[in-house]
C-alpha cells in the first residue's frame, strides 16, 4: 500500500466532518469540564453504524468458533479478500481523525473496545464473549482493563500483588489497581491477578477475571487529575474480598495461557499508538503552517525565517514516516497477521517520540500563544507526552527491541 484508497478518503472525510461538528465545539467541556466522553463516542458508533458492524463481525467470528469447536479444531482466521485493505483502514482512520482534536477520547474508546474486549475475545469462552465482550465492542457498555498497580507498572507481572484465592468452586479477589482508564465509569472490568495457592510469589499463575460494576467489595474511585488526556477518565480500583464464581475466570480454567494473551494485547495497543501519533502530528503541522503564514514578526511572516522552516520541515518528515508506518500496519492487518512484538515496539517508540517532538516544536513555533490553552497546540503537547509512557514506556520498548535483536 503506497497511498490511501478512495474508500479510506471517504472514511476520513466523513469522520472529519463528525469530529468538526460533534467534538471541536465541545472540546472545552470534554477537556476541562467533568463530562465523560462516552456520549459522544456512542453517537459516533451509531452515526457510522460502527455498533452494527461490530455486532456482525462478532457474530461471524462466534459462528466460526462454534463450527470449529464441533470439529474439534481451532477457528481459522478468514483469508484475505479484496477490500480488506479498506476494512483494515477503517480501524485506524477514526483514531487518526479523533486524535487531531481529542487523543483522550481515543484512549477511553481504545481501552474499552480494544484492550478490554480483546482480552475477553482472546481468552474467554464463547459464553463469556457473548456476555461481556459483545456489549463492549458495540460500546453499549464501558470497559476497563486492570493490570497496573501502585507498586508495579512496567514490571506488571513481576511486581503484581493482587491475588485470587480459591474458595469452593469460586475465588476471592483482593488488590488495588491504579491508572485504570475508564476505571471511574467502567461497567465491565478485566482484572488481572496472581493465584495465591501458597506457592512462592514468583511461581504463581496469572489469572484474569471479569467483574461487573457494583459487585460487593469492588470500589471504583473518582477520576484522578493528570497532566493531559483530560477527556479520558482515569481512576483506581479497590478490591476487598470480592467473591466470584468460576464463570468469571476467563477461559473458565486456571490453565489458560494468561501471559500470551496479554502480550497480544500489548502488540495491538502499540499499533494503535502510531495512529494516535499521526493524528497529533497532522494537526500540529497544519496549525503550525497556518500560523507561520499569518503571524508577522520583524515585518514579515515568521514562515520566512529559517529556524521556523526547520520546525515545519521536521514536522513534515515525521508525518510522512508515521503515515508509512500506518500503511504497513494496514497491510499487516489486511493480511490477517499482526506485527510481532519487537516491530510493534519499534513503531510505538518512534511514533511516541515523533508526536512529542512535533508537539513541543509546535508550542515553540507559536511562542507565547503556544503556551496558552486558547491555542490547541498546548493541549496536544500535554496529551502527546502520555504516548511515551502508557502502552509500555519508551524504555520498555527499547529493551524489547534490543532483546529481540540480541536473541538471534
Partner 1 sequence: MKILVTVKRVPDPETSIKVKPDGTGIVTDNIKWVVNPFDEIGVEEALRIKEKVAGSEVVLVSIGDKVAQEQLRTGLAMGADRAILVLADDLDPLGVARVLAKLVDDEKPDLIIMGKQAIDDDSNAVGQMLAELLGWPQGTFASQIELSDDQKSASVTREVDGGLETLSFPLPGVITADLRLNEPRYASLPGIMKARKKELKEIPVADLGVDVTPRVTITKMEPPPSREAGKIVASVEELVNLLHTEAKVI
| SS3 state at 169 | coil
Query: How many whole angstroms separate alpha carbon 270 and alpha carbon 50?
Result: 22
Residue 385: left (phi > 0), alpha (psi -120 to 50), or beta?
A: alpha
**Closest separation in Å from C-beta 87 to partner 1:** 7
CA 191, 192, 193, 195 torsion: positive or negative? positive
**Closest separation in Å from C-beta 19 to partner 1:** 11
Tell me the three cell numbers of residue 367: 511562542
Q: Which helix (H) or strand (E) holds 176?
A: strand 170-181
Verify whether residue 269 is a known catalytic residue.
Answer: yes
In the chain, count of helices (H) and strands (E)? 15, 9
Residue 102: left (phi > 0), alpha (psi -120 to 50), or beta?
A: beta
**Closest separation in Å from C-beta 48 to partner 1:** 5
Say how many C-beta atoms besides its own lie within 10 A of residue 272's C-beta.
24
Residues of this chain that bind partner 1 (CB under 8 A): 6-7, 10-11, 13-14, 17-18, 47-50, 52-53, 56, 83, 86-87, 90
Q: Which of 269, 282, 343, 378 is catalytic?
A: 269
| SS3 state at 42 | helix
243: which strand partners?
A: 172
Please identify, using beta-carbon distances, which residue of 88 and 249 lies nearer to partner 1. Answer: 88
**Closest separation in Å from C-beta 244 to partner 1:** 36
**Closest separation in Å from C-beta 55 to partner 1:** 11
Please identify, using beta-carbon distances, which residue of 6 and 203 lies nearer to partner 1. Answer: 6
Please identify, using beta-carbon distances, which residue of 14 and 75 lies nearer to partner 1. Answer: 14
Please identify, using beta-carbon distances, which residue of 86 and 331 lies nearer to partner 1. Answer: 86
CA 344, 349, 352, 354 torsion: positive or negative? negative
Please identify, using beta-carbon distances, which residue of 61 and 314 lies nearer to partner 1. Answer: 61
Catalytic residues: 269
Amino acid at each position: 500500500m503506497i497511498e490511501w484508497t478512495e474508500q479510506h478518503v471517504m472514511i476520513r472525510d466523513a469522520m472529519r466532518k463528525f469530529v468538526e461538528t460533534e467534538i471541536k465545539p465541545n472540546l472545552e467541556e470534554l477537556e476541562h469540564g467533568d463530562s465523560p466522553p462516552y456520549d459522544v463516542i456512542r453517537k459516533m458508533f451509531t452515526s457510522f453504524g460502527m455498533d452494527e458492524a461490530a455486532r456482525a463481525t462478532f457474530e461471524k467470528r462466534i459462528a466460526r468458533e462454534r463450527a470449529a469447536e464441533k470439529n474439534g479444531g481451532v477457528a481459522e482466521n478468514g483469508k484475505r479478500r479484496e477490500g480488506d485493505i479498506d476494512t483494515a483502514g477503517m480501524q485506524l482512520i477514526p483514531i487518526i481523525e479523533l486524535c487531531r482534536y481529542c487523543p483522550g477520547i481515543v484512549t477511553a474508546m481504545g481501552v474499552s473496545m480494544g484492550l478490554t474486549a480483546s482480552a475477553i475475545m482472546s481468552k474467554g469462552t464463547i459464553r463469556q464473549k457473548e456476555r461481556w465482550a459483545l456489549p463492549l465492542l458495540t460500546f453499549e457498555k464501558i470497559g476497563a482493563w486492570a493490570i497496573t498497580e501502585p507498586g508495579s507498572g512496567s514490571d506488571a507481572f513481576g511486581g503484581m500483588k493482587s491475588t485470587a484465592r480459591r474458595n469452593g468452586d469460586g475465588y476471592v479477589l483482593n488488590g488495588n489497581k491504579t491508572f485504570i482508564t475508564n476505571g471511574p465509569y467502567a461497567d465491565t472490568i478485566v482484572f488481572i491477578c496472581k493465584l495465591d495457592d501458597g506457592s512462592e510469589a514468583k511461581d504463581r499463575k496469572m489469572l484474569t477475571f471479569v467483574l461487573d460494576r457494583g459487585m460487593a467489595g469492588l470500589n471504583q474511585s473518582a477520576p484522578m487529575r493528570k497532566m493531559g488526556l483530560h477527556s479520558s477518565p482515569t481512576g483506581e480500583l479497590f478490591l476487598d474480598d470480592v467473591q466470584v464464581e468460576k464463570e468469571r475466570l476467563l477461559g473458565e480454567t486456571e490453565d489458560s495461557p494468561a501471559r500470551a494473551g496479554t502480550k497480544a494485547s500489548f502488540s495491538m495497543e502499540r499499533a494503535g499508538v502510531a495512529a494516535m501519533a499521526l493524528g497529533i502530528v497532522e494537526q500540529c503541522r497544519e496549525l503550525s503552517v497556518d500560523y507561520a503564514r499569518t503571524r508577522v514578526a520583524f515585518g514579515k511572516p515568521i514562515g520566512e525565517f529559517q529556524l521556523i522552516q526547520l520546525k515545519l520541515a521536521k514536522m513534515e518528515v515525521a508525518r510522512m514516516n508515521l503515515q508509512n508506518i500506518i500503511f504497513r500496519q494496514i497491510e499487516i492487518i489486511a493480511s490477517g497477521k499482526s506485527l510481532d512484538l519487537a516491530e510493534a515496539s519499534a513503531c510505538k517508540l518512534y511514533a511516541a517520540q515523533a508526536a512529542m517532538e512535533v508537539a513541543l516544536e509546535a508550542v515553540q513555533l507559536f511562542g507565547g500563544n503556544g503556551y496558552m490553552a486558547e491555542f490547541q497546540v498546548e493541549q496536544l503537547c500535554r496529551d502527546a507526552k502520555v504516548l511515551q509512557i502508557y502502552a509500555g514506556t519508551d524504555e520498555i520498548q527499547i529493551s524489547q527491541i534490543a532483546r529481540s535483536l540480541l536473541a538471534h
